[in-house]
Amino acid sequence: DAGVTQSPTHLIKTRGQQVTLRCSPISGHKSVSWYQQVLGQGPQFIFQYYEKEERGRGNFPDRFSARQFPNYSSELNVNALLLGDSALYLCASSGQGERNQPQHFGDGTRLSIL
Amino acid sequence: TQLLEQSPQFLSIQEGENLTVYCNSSSVFSSLQWYRQEPGEGPVLLVTVVTGGEVKKLKRLTFQFGDARKDSSLHITAAQPGDTGLYLCAGVINSGAGSYQLTFGKGTKLSVIP
């Protein structure tokens, strides 16, 4: 079975541009979360979506937005890119029902801002 | 903001040695997870500890959750080069309806030298 897939794997943008990152969860998973991992740090929570509704938002500016589609895939959008947005963006999916089901991470999108 | 402090930040040891990594917080978590992350990949879940005082073993890895559910430790016996990686602890914050968010520590970068 395919794991969580993210695209693109690498991306280079310049300051002020906009970017869209994509995530396909494991088949059957209805919850998708996004994390930002700056070099040398642990991942930091950005958003969580469950059944196409936002269920959680981390401490990130309004330049960051996301959505989840009927097929449970998700997009993360970042507007007006800053140098500090350079990071590995991770998507994780999890199943429903049983509490504390594990989150399965994709390998991330490496975003570099020039 | 619920913060997780991990120590040490870096650890370089010889093959065959034992080591312990610590994860501490001033907050109580419903559960705590340990992940390992290798370069270019997403974090992979190793274990979830739920009950205060709980001890879980995964081959040479022993995980312990503090009695007050604020801290945890990971002990590796007879480390091997394959144990090299970034070890992350993450506190679980339940957001309802089977969904949850993770608050990560900064990680411990372990290098095991053959």
Identify all chain A residues contacting B51, using CB atoms and an 8 Å cutoff. Answer: none
- Which stretches of chain A score pLDDT less than 70? 1, 96-100
Amino acid identity for residue A91 in this structure: C
Q: Please report how many Cα atoms fall inside a 13 Å half-sphere around the Cα of residue A101, on the Cβ side.
A: 17
Show Cβ contacts of residue B51 under 8 Å, excluding neighbours closer than 6 positions. B65
Kindly list the residues of chain A whose beta carbon comes within 8 Å of any beta carbon in chain B: 4, 31, 33, 35, 40-45, 48, 50, 55-56, 58-59, 90, 92, 94-108
- Option in B98, B105, B107 nearest A101 (CB): B98
In this predicted structure, what is the pLDDT of residue B1? 54
Asked whether the predicted pLDDT for residue B49 surpasses 70, the reply is yes
Residues of B in contact with A97 (CB under 8 A): 98
What is the H or E stretch that residue B31 is in? strand B31-37
CA distances from B100 to A13, A45, A59, A88, A108 (A): 31, 11, 16, 21, 20
What's the mean per-residue pLDDT of chain A?
A: 92
